[in-house]
Homo-oligomer: A and B are copies of this chain.
Amino acid sequence: MVQKKKGPPQGDLPQKMAAAPVEPKRRGRPRAYEPDVALGKALDLFRSTGFAATSLDDLSAATGMNRPSLYGAFGDKRELYIKSYQRYRDNARAVMGEIFRHDWPVREQLQKIFAAALDIYLSGGEGPRGCFTVMTAGSEAVADPDIRAMVQNALTELDMAFARCFRRAKEKGELPADADPAVLARLASATIHSIAVRARARAPRQELEAIVAGAIDVMVGKG
């Protein structure tokens, strides 16, 4: 009963909102890993091999942490998976949100969004890893309610962001009066889903960019 059921030690967790690069003088033996980069490695691995096919040995090797350290830091395999997915979503949300935030012309904004998505899907060492939501999380979503909720959330979040974008464009007169922002948003999301799937099958970037360009033309008219 050494480290049982006191939950993951949750790292530092500074009281309020200090960025805390200052170590508050930890007590025992210092960590040999940085939780953040370790989680990033785990994310990469889960993203390319999925949940079931990724063993704790693989994760251990990738993160450089041995198994007890993994458990201490992140909990069991499922928790680590969920934390990885959360991190992926946080990152995607940050990147996308930064673009959606601006008040650019629709066409330009869509181009930037899709380019960012492509960067995410095609990044990584060997072979494109696609989208966490579409590929591996979608698989687990059927059996695991928590993951399913996260996936649903990711899907609707994207729909909403696109819908807001199109609504604004319509108000600014960039879209015809009969354009339906909600419908266009679903189409934009669908384009995202489609390039995620195709990226996984190693479609060349050029092809994906052509798909994006065509979709934009249909959605907001040929520029």
Chain B residues, Cβ within 8 Å of A130:
138, 142
The contact size tier of chain A is 35 or more
A222–B154 CA distance with the chains assembled, in angstroms: 29
Instruction: Please tell me if A217 contacts chain B, counting CB pairs below 8 Å.
Output: yes
* Number of chain copies forming the complex: 2
Q: Mark A144-157, 1 if CB is under 8 A from B, else 0.
A: 00001001100100
A127–B140 CA distance with the chains assembled, in angstroms: 12
The listed residue with most B CB atoms (<10 A of its CB), out of A130, A198, A217, is: A198
Q: Quick check: B182 and A214 within 8 Å, CB to CB?
A: yes
Instruction: Please tell me if A82 contacts chain B, counting CB pairs below 8 Å.
Output: no
On whether A197 and B148 interact (CB within 8 A), knowing A191-B190, A211-B186, the answer reads: no
Q: Quick check: B148 and A202 within 8 Å, CB to CB?
A: yes
Q: Mark A185-220, 1 if CB is under 8 A from B, else 0.
A: 011011101100110111100000001001101110
Instruction: Please tell me if A129 contacts chain B, counting CB pairs below 8 Å.
Output: yes
Q: Quick check: B129 and A142 within 8 Å, CB to CB?
A: yes
Instruction: Apart from A134-B134, A189-B194, list 13 A-B contacts with CB within 8 A.
Output: A51-B53, A138-B200, A139-B200, A151-B200, A152-B201, A155-B203, A180-B217, A186-B211, A186-B214, A186-B215, A187-B215, A190-B191, A190-B193
A40–B153 CA distance with the chains assembled, in angstroms: 33
- Out of B178, B180, B201, name the residue touching A151 (CB < 8 Å): B201
A119 nearest CB across to chain B (Å): 18
21 contacts between A and B (CB under 8 A): A48-B142, A52-B53, A129-B142, A133-B197, A134-B138, A135-B138, A139-B200, A141-B201, A148-B201, A148-B202, A152-B202, A152-B203, A155-B201, A183-B215, A186-B215, A187-B214, A187-B215, A187-B218, A190-B191, A190-B211, A193-B193
